[in-house]
Amino acid sequence: MNKTLRNIAERYSCRDFTGEPPTDGEIEAIVSAALAAPSAINLQPWHIVVVRDKAIVDELDSEGLSILAAAEDKSSYERISSRGRKMLYNAPCIMIILSDGSKWATLDSGILCQTIVLAAQSLGLATCIVGMAGVPLYGPKRAQFAKRLRFPEGYEFSIGVLIGTANSGKQPHELDAGKVTYV
């Protein structure tokens, strides 16, 4: 198996980070790979906010948990509480992918996200794709976070990617060949 296929096969969603941050070189390599991601008509309807300030990551985590705890449906809060009450799993870095809301922005953001996780995997870093990062970014402090994180005008949260060193390993998910039809 070649390196690319091995990285795809071995990647898993890490929910237990050591807190050790990626190096500047690793972040630069991941960002360069991300910016090479394809997009419809090469419009690149995204913007990446790299948050390496652990205090901000922890603040996003805390705010998100507070919002989930106050929600009528407690299922997400209970699930996260059972995993150590860390919505962002002690990750030292989050790449917040914003999109401009254009026609293909959701699809293109997904392609960008996958590029980020595979680039990080190739560098020996652990990742977790987190839609839950949107909880604080769409919550009551939305405007404050957008200002502090310097969201460009007209861009909204699309998806987040946690990046760091895994504290413990995990097997990748089982492959389900039933999800494929050959014609």
Proportion of the chain in helix, strand, coil states, percent, rounded to 5: 45, 15, 40
CATH superfamily, domain 13-167, is: NADH Oxidase (3.40.109.10)
Q: Residues 119, 37, 155, 73: is their CA dihedral positive or negative? A: negative
Span 124-134, pLDDT tens digits: 999 999 999 99
The residues, any chain, with a CB within 8 Å of residue 180's CB and separated by 6 or more, are none
Residue 175 confidence (pLDDT) above 90: no
Average pLDDT, the chain: 94
Question: Residue 73's Cα: distance from chain center in Å?
Answer: 23
User: What are the boundaries of each domain within the chain?
Assistant: 13-167
Give all strands (DSSP E) within 16-174, no chain letters. Answer: 46-51, 93-99, 126-130, 156-164
Span 84-125, pLDDT tens digits: 788 999 999 999 999 999 999 999 999 999 999 999 999 999
pLDDT above 90 coverage of the chain, percent: 80
- Backbone φ and ψ for 161, nearest 5 degrees, come out as -130, 120
Given this model, what pLDDT does residue 66 score?
93
Instruction: Indicate the range of 38-47, 53-62, 133-142, 169-178 predicted with least confidence.
Output: 169-178
Given this model, what pLDDT does residue 74 score?
87
